[in-house]
Amino acid sequence: MKIFLMLLLILQSAWVYAGQCDLIKLNPNFVGEQQFNRAIYLSKQDRQKYEIRINEKGQVLDTHGNLLDTRNLPNGTAMFVYSKTGKIYISTKRNRTKFDHSSLVGGEEVIVAGSMEITRGYLKFITDVSSRYVTTTKDNLKAVVYRLKVMGADISKMRVFFQTNY
């Protein structure tokens, strides 16, 4: 019972921190969204396939329990979104005009979107750079870092890169 109460307090503090951030809407100036307007939006059920988990070693897992690793991806990172419901979705597939950050949450508002570099499940790098969701404050990226920590992720060697247009 004591562990459950501690966990509840930690989760509540994560929500308090995230609640201090403005939600981010889709960038109306994103050329791809206007020009192509073909982004694939996942249903709430389909999003579950992209929700991350954290194991007891602090490693990031996909929904099947496999360690995530972005080293073999074209830019070495995977896109992520921290949804307004408190879930973190990540995808290793990306197509700028058809499947991007907005796809993971069906075009809904988010707390933050960006990219993560992950090696053998360990977070190495995170950024809030996204063309579809433009962050206006560092607090949004800080919120997802805090959420990852609360979830049990090992963030001890993770570098954080804030975009420069605040």
pLDDT at 30: 56
pLDDT in tens, 119-135: 999 999 999 998 888 88
What value does the mean pLDDT take over residues 139-152?
94
Has residue 158 got a pLDDT over 70? yes
pLDDT value at residue 164: 61
Note the pLDDT of residue 89: 97
**pLDDT of 1:** 52
Q: How confident is the model at residue 141, as a pLDDT?
A: 92
- pLDDT of the residue at 37: 56
pLDDT digits (tens, 9 = 90+) for 18-53: 456 677 777 766 544 444 456 789 999 999 999 999
Residue type present at position 93:
K
* Tens digits of residue pLDDT in 67-117: 999 999 988 999 999 999 999 999 988 766 678 888 999 989 999 999 999
- Look at residue 20 in the predicted model and tell me its pLDDT: 61
Residue spans per domain, the chain: 2-161
In this prediction, residue 27 carries a pLDDT of 72
Q: Strand 110-119 vs strand 159-161: parallel, antiparallel, or unpaired?
A: unpaired
Decide if 42 contacts 77 (C-beta within 8 A): no
Mean pLDDT of 43-67: 95
